[in-house]
Structures are given as structure tokens and as C-alpha cells.
Amino acid sequence: MNRFLFLSLLILLEFPLLADSKPKAICQSLSDCETKADATSIHRKKITLLSFGLTEYSKDAPVQKLIPSYLKRARSIILEANGDTGYKGEVVLKVSHKPEYKQSQLIKAEEDLRFLESNQSHLSKEQSSELGELQNLVSQSK
């Protein structure tokens, strides 16, 4: 009987602690995600941070605030799909992806580029130039 009471109390005391634990956000705002992405050279990490920021914080953001994140994410997706990891050091790490993976990544990049094309009127001259450069890079990557 004492064991049952002890286990019941333990479960009741621990359950609220477990219920309150939420996964910690990797960044607190779109600009925070972008800043953290800028701080790393690793493309996979950039993609994760920018994707999280766009998913979590883009709902109420004006298009002009989203454009830099879409440009950066598209660039990192294309470079990563082409085998550039972004790791720097004594040895530059390049990888070869299966054709299916590379194709699926390029499709994701094209989706970002379509978003940018559909909001072309909000792009600065520099951003329009970068969009053109990324479109050429995607075409060359196929």
C-alpha cells in the first residue's frame, strides 16, 4: 500500500512538470533567426534557422521583412544541394547527394524563388539582382 501511495504522489508531482515543458524555440523572432543564420557558415544550419523563422514568425510580417530570409534560404538550399556544406577549416567538406535529394532541394529553392518573383515589386535593385543570380544558379544546378 505504501508503494502505491508513493508512486501515485510521485506521478502527480512530476506530471505537471512534464506537461509544462515545451520545446525551446531556436530563435525568438524572424530577425533573431536571420541573425543566427548569418552567424554560421554551415548551410544546413542556415536553412533550419531561416525555415523556423519563416514558419513561426512570418504570419504578420510585411513582405519586405521576409525577402532577405527567402533570399538567404534559397541560396543556402542551392549551395547545399550542390554539395557545398559550408564547413570551413583546414579541409573543405564537400558532399555528393543522391539525385533524388538534390532534385527535392532544388524544388524547395524554386518555391522560395517563386515567392520572390511574385513579390518582385517589393525587391530592391540589389535583391532583384540576387534573385536573377539565384535563378541562374538553380538552372545550372539541374
pLDDT band at 18; cut points 50, 70, 90 = very low
What are phi and psi for residue 111, nearest 5 degrees?
-65, -45
Identify which has the larger pLDDT, 69 or 5.
Answer: 69
Domains of the chain by residue range: 28-141
Identify which has the larger pLDDT, 61 or 20.
Answer: 61
Cα–Cα separations (whole angstroms), residue 86 to 36, 41, 113? 15, 5, 21
Contacts of 130 (CB under 8 A, 6+ apart): 71, 75
pLDDT tens-digit series, residues 70-83: 999 999 999 999 99
* Residue 55 clears pLDDT 60, i.e. is over it: yes
Which DSSP string do the residues of 80-122 spell out, in sequence order?
HHTTB----SSS--B----HHHHHHHHHHHHHHHHHHHHTGGG
For residues 133 and 108, the answer to whether their CB atoms sit within 8 Å is no
